[in-house]
């Protein structure tokens, strides 16, 4: 039987050149795709056609000033977008539109029922990008654009975002902090970059209690992650009853990742995927759009994504 799991990828993502020695580099996707080809998964997945996200959809999550700033910086060849190392080249703007477009295509595929779930193998990543600020290797918030698209185009009233990247997704939190139509839950190393994500950050106004932060101490492994998943994340999802679940799928909580200090393995990511799929099966006909965020150890990233996809496509 044909797989009902899709992969959304485009070679333009390799053209986003962040310069020598940068951890968020094209080799992340090159080695990931090569690995999926060599292990046989690549040909079993449905390849989702993607187009660049029209700016009107980027503008549902970002300010016009931000979109203009990113576009001008990329096209002018200015190298750095922030005071850290969010680096771009002339191709980066088109790559960023395509990354958001991949999530939009994923949303269309699962909301129409053509596919059960989709993994978006994209870069640049998105979850640090705020409505008005590029940050942490992120230009546009791919998941946030996808969630707004799902709301406007598919009338999704409740979408959940599960963010297991090792870093807190300050951008996704900021964009939906006062918005109960998106429930944002993050498990992350804390205290750590970017500094946000304390347990008492729970949303504001209409969005109060629709942000759930699960800060975990450095060195956390399966016990902490899977324990929190069962104790905190799954009951919160049950209560929220999402119509669609996004995963901000970073794999930098892997024990070999050079940028962080957690102790997960490929099997940990498989188990979190299994638990998310069980919840999605009960709550929203299994609809999951998973979007690559971080993950900087090439072999671990490739093997972790393989584990993630084997469960998604099971």
**Catalytic residue of the set 128, 167, 188, 297:** 128
171 sits near Zn ion (criterion: CB under 5 A): no
6 sits near Zn ion (criterion: CB under 5 A): no
CB-based closest residue to Zn ion: 294
Q: CA torsion, points 38, 40, 46, 50, in degrees to nearest 10?
A: -10
Question: How many C-alpha atoms does 144 have within 13 Å on its Cβ side?
Answer: 29
Selection from 213, 222, 226 nearest residue 187 by Cα: 213
Q: Of these, 167, 168, 188, 303, which contacts Zn ion (CB under 5 A)?
A: 167
* Distance, CA of 153 to CA of 108 (rounded, Å): 9
Q: Which stretch binds Zn ion (CB under 5 A): 90-98, 143-151, 159-167, 199-207?
A: 159-167
Taking residues 252 to 271 in sequence order and writing x for each that binds Zn ion by CB under 5 A, - otherwise, the string is x-------------------
Q: Of these, 250, 254, 265, 268, which contacts Zn ion (CB under 5 A)?
A: 250
197 sits near Zn ion (criterion: CB under 5 A): no
Catalytic residue list contains 128: yes
* Distance, CA of 291 to CA of 305 (rounded, Å): 11
Smallest separation, CB 157 to Zn ion (Å): 29
123 sits near Zn ion (criterion: CB under 5 A): no
Q: Which stretch binds Zn ion (CB under 5 A): 21-29, 101-109, 241-249, 294-302?
A: 294-302
Rounded to 5 degrees, φ, ψ at 248 are -85, 90
Smallest separation, CB 181 to Zn ion (Å): 25
Residue 36 and residue 42 in contact, taking contact as beta carbons nearer than 8 Å: yes
* Distance, CA of 227 to CA of 230 (rounded, Å): 5
Q: Which stretch binds Zn ion (CB under 5 A): 23-31, 200-208, 243-251, 267-275?
A: 243-251
Residue 115 tokens read as 């596919």
Q: Which stretch binds Zn ion (CB under 5 A): 104-112, 173-181, 200-208, 244-252?
A: 244-252
Residue 15 tokens read as 């053209």
62 sits near Zn ion (criterion: CB under 5 A): no
Distance in angstroms between the alpha carbons of the first and the last residue of the chain: 11
Question: How many C-alpha atoms does 199 have within 13 Å on its Cβ side?
Answer: 6
Would you please indicate which residues are annotated as catalytic (active-site) residues? 128
Interacting residues with Zn ion (CB under 5 A): 165, 167, 250, 252, 294
């Amino acid at each position: 039987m044909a797989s009902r799991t899709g992969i959304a990828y485009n070679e333009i993502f390799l053209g986003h050149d962040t310069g020598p020695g940068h951890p968020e580099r094209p080799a992340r996707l090159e080695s990931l795709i090569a690995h999926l080809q060599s292990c046989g998964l690549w040909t079993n997945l449905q390849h989702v056609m993607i187009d660049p996200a029209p700016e009107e959809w980027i503008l549902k999550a970002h300010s016009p000033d931000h979109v203009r700033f990113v576009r001008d910086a990329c096209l002018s060849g200015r190298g750095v977008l922030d005071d850290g190392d969010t680096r771009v080249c002339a191709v980066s703007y088109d790559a960023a539109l395509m990354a958001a477009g991949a999530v939009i295509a994923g949303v269309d595929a699962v909301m129409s029922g053509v596919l059960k779930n989709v993994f978006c193998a994209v870069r640049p990543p998105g979850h640090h990008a705020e409505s008005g600020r590029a940050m942490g290797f992120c230009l546009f918030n791919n998941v946030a654009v996808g969630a707004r698209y799902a709301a406007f185009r598919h009338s999704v009233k409740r979408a959940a975002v599960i963010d297991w990247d090792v870093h807190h997704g300050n951008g996704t939190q900021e964009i939906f902090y006062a918005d109960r139509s998106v429930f944002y839950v993050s498990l992350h190393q804390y205290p750590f970059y970017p500094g946000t994500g304390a347990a008492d950050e729970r949303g504001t106004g209409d969005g109060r209690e629709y942000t759930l932060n699960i800060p975990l101490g450095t060195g956390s492994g399966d016990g902490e992650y899977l324990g929190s998943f069962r104790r905190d994340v799954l009951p919160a999802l049950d209560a929220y009853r999402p119509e669609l679940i996004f995963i901000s799928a970073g794999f930098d909580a892997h024990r070999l990742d050079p940028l962080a200090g957690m102790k997960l393995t490929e099997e940990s990511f498989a188990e979190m995927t299994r638990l998310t799929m069980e919840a999605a099966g009960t709550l929203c006909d299994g609809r999951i759009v998973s979007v690559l965020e971080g993950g900087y150890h090439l072999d671990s990233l490739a093997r972790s994504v393989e584990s993630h996809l084997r469960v998604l496509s099971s």
